Structure 1
């Protein structure tokens, strides 16, 4: 029986094969129901047209693109799509076994069928992958835009609230200082003053998130050594409460060009986090601070031997609103990263069972031209 007769045989069994294709695909993937009949018919007519030389390679490509587009619109996964095409190929090849074809005709038909399906599948999967990637990229852009909008709104809300909050807070801090000067032996004034400074520090964090906390600041060249002295004095009650040992190795000549109050906020945040990590640790508790310059590069590291940060969390600890603390805001490390980058530096974190290290590196713009 010649090849032309085989195409007549295919015409006669089209409805039977397409129906069987529909049943099997719907049985495996129920949500395929809306497009499965059209897909089965399209693939079957593709084979018949290819056998009759009525369909070119370009026609196969265009049909593959069309089918891929419809499958993507129907939200069919690429795995389901490949399964359906392979099933269509199998049903056509099985059909050939039912006819009384000579071996030569049968082998030629199988080769031509596989050739047709292979071309169709390559083009369809390629286009399908492109469409899916484009969809994912659009969703990613939408999420990023939504996230930025959310940050903008929260920043505006925080700025508005914090400015209203800061005025009375400044007055209270001022009067607490006067109270301390007039009544130096009055109990609890030191505690009140320390808590007010902590509150003022949190307020400054929200101002920096809103991008409005640096409008009136000017850059200055300041000593990192003296800044750490001031910070460790400020955090002394927390250090005593945790019973932590502070070991510092700071180059007295280390100078930085930038916003002193912002850098103070960064270092307070990271040391405070280190103390929090040591709070429940038994045995020796230690925070090691190193700060030194080497040519045009300067490095600050703050390490603690407390509970490690999970490897799952390390990639996202500098993201806004991410926190592992029960009452955390999730903006502390995000603000730190923003400030460090504003000073032309980078910040990273490494954590193991032995220690957690926050490293800050500055070069070029963050360093003064002359010491």
Structure 2
């Protein structure tokens, strides 16, 4: 005698054409779906799984194999997975609707419908899991490509800057030498101080590129650096810029705060941050203020350079140390990147915070005492 499972399987097979016609009419299909001709075949394949489940001959591996095949097609077609889920669940509802028309006793149908639902749930689980896995791998591959492209750009920057900047260094050194000679021979000659200051600024910018290309480290010698002396030298050097921008600068520096490292590199960091601070406060009305605070504990020296310029947006703060990132029309985007690199090379950390009141760059460096210097 024919069982309820066999009767339902035969009934659904008999109405397969009607089922597929209804399903095609109401499903969602993108016109640019590269696998559009496979969708009906996949629907028929799922229908065959339903029949095998009803007949008791279905293997779980068959569900997974078909689900992963369809998921791969959906991923390659780059189509919204929501369409697939909708079409699958719509097919499920049609199968159940036709099952209810089979005339089988309701108590038999309840068990069979549970089996059908379980099949579709398993199918969707395997398909979505595989789709997610494939998309995550695709994203990872794209991120790897972006990361490699980013490294290639940095390599190109190093190659370009080391060759391009060295072409400027020799004539710049000669010009600076002749300016010093003119200052000695004609101490009252106008504008020499301004020319000298601008040439020093240019030398500073060249040093940024040279450090980015890692060409200068071997030319320098490490030593003990007292930050009070270093920062006073920098403030004196930048004094014309403070006056021009009408900036008030105040400082509180622990005279015992010292670090062990490359003086020129750390000078480059503090100068870059101070120059950026001057540019920032120019964008607001007076008073324009910059604060320098240096303190030391038993382990670290903490330097905080703050300004009362406009607040930096949160998304900008998060990217401010990335190479090539700049908000300036003529900026190169390497200044703060080089600062971060120098500080990290000195086993330190640099961070930026910004509010409506203050924007601060905080630097932490290992404290070096006389009895802790390398032998």
Normalised by the size of structure 2, how large is the TM-score?
0.93
Superposition RMSD on alpha carbons, in Å? 1.8
- In structure 2, stretches of 5+ residues that fail to align are none
Match among 80, 98, 110 for residue 113 of structure 2: 110
Aligned equivalent of 1:305: 308
Are positions 1:69 and 2:67 aligned together?
Answer: no
Within-5 A mapping of 1:161-310: 161-310=164-313
Q: CA deviation at 1:367?
A: 6.7
Of residues 100-109 and 154-163 in structure 1, the stretch that sits farther from structure 2 once superposed is: 100-109
Of residues 193-202 and 63-72 in structure 1, the stretch that sits farther from structure 2 once superposed is: 63-72
Distance in structure 1 (CA, Å) of the matches to 2:315 and 2:21: 49
- Checking the alignment, whether the CA contact within 8 Å between 2:302 and 2:362 is kept in structure 1 is yes
Within-5 A mapping of 1:327-342: 327-342=330-345
Q: CA deviation at 1:12?
A: 2.0
The 3-state SS of whatever aligns with 2:357 is coil
Aligned equivalent of 2:14: 12
Distance in structure 2 (CA, Å) of the matches to 1:214 and 1:352: 36
Cα gap change, 1:265 to 1:35, in 2 (>3 Å): farther
- Checking the alignment, whether the CA contact within 8 Å between 1:22 and 1:40 is kept in structure 2 is no
Distance in structure 2 (CA, Å) of the matches to 1:367 and 1:31: 69
* CA deviation vs aligned residue, 1:94-115 (integer Å, no higher than 9, x gap): 2224433321233222211111
Cα gap change, 1:98 to 1:144, in 2 (>3 Å): same
Q: CA deviation at 1:163?
A: 0.7
The 3-state SS of whatever aligns with 2:330 is coil
Are positions 1:52 and 2:55 aligned together?
Answer: yes
- Checking the alignment, whether the CA contact within 8 Å between 1:257 and 1:368 is kept in structure 2 is no
Normalised by the size of structure 1, how large is the TM-score?
0.94
The 3-state SS of whatever aligns with 2:349 is strand
Cα gap change, 1:36 to 1:369, in 2 (>3 Å): farther
- Checking the alignment, whether the CA contact within 8 Å between 1:19 and 1:37 is kept in structure 2 is no
Cα gap change, 1:64 to 1:294, in 2 (>3 Å): same
* CA deviation vs aligned residue, 1:180-236 (integer Å, no higher than 9, x gap): 111110001111111111111111111111122323222111111111011001111
The 3-state SS of whatever aligns with 1:313 is helix
Alignment: residue pair count: 369
Cα gap change, 1:135 to 1:271, in 2 (>3 Å): same
Match among 1, 4, 14 for residue 2 of structure 1: 4
The 3-state SS of whatever aligns with 1:194 is helix
Distance in structure 1 (CA, Å) of the matches to 2:220 and 2:45: 68
Within-5 A mapping of 1:316-335: 316-335=319-338
